[in-house]
Amino acid sequence: MLSLITRALCLLAAGTLLGLAVNGVRADGVRFARFAPPSVCTMTPDSGEAPGPAPVEALAPPDAAGLCGDPSTLIADVRPAADFAQGHVTGAIHLPCTASGEAASAAVDLVAGRQTLIVYGDGTDDARRVADELRQRIRRRDLRIVVVSGGFGAWSQAGLACSSGPCLHCAAPAAVSASVTRGPGSAP
């Protein structure tokens, strides 16, 4: 007859196996090898001396475009869906700032394994809001977050590459993930 402790261990083992199996088949499951624990703790101000991750940078469009050829770079467009459909930086995902909380959660997963995240909007400020929120959520020191100065308008005026088309994944962050798994290979 099984003892109380044996039954408890059986249930814990069943939960463990179920968790590993579910995590293995989930597209958004946590990846053991790639997961980077936050390198900076969120200590209270009087005790924290550890340096934080690099702050969000602002780069001129040509400089930002120079980062796009790297497959470890992810580009995010924070403008409304209609503007995204009319034209966006080639390879960009749509990450509207109107849904920044939920979408930013999805973006946390999307940037796993990436080294650079380029965020742009109509101007600099709207992109910076989203970028700052992402910086708060993603404390990885090896992730560089960049805002395009002047936004999409400045990008277009600089004659850099753009694409257009409907935003198929604006409503669901999960769909954003599906889109982005193709990677930002079509860099300008």
Partner 1 sequence: MRRSAVLALLLRLVLGALLIVAGLLKLRDPTAFATEIANYQLLPRGAAVLAAVLPSIEVVVGASLLALPRLWRRGAAAAALALFVVFTGAVASAYFRRINIDCGCFGTGGGPIGALTLVRNLALIAAAVAVLRLDRSPARRPAVSG
- Smaller CB separation from partner 1, 65 or 134: 134
For residue 106, give the H/E element and its range.
helix 100-110
- Smaller CB separation from partner 1, 11 or 172: 11
Minimum CB distance to partner 1, residue 35 (Å): 4
Separation in Å, CA 163 to CA 100, 144, 153: 23, 24, 14
Find where tokens 């994944």 sit.
169
Q: Which of residues 24-63 bind partner 1 (CB under 8 A)?
A: 26, 28-32, 35, 37-38, 41-44, 47
Residue 162, strand partner residues? 89
Rounded CA separation 146/75 (Å): 9
What DSSP string runs through 7-18? Answer: HHHHHHHHHHHH
Minimum CB distance to partner 1, residue 76 (Å): 17
- Smaller CB separation from partner 1, 12 or 172: 12
Site residues for partner 1 per CB under 8 A: 2, 4-12, 14-16, 18-20, 22-23, 26, 28-32, 35, 37-38, 41-44, 47, 105, 108-109, 112, 137, 139
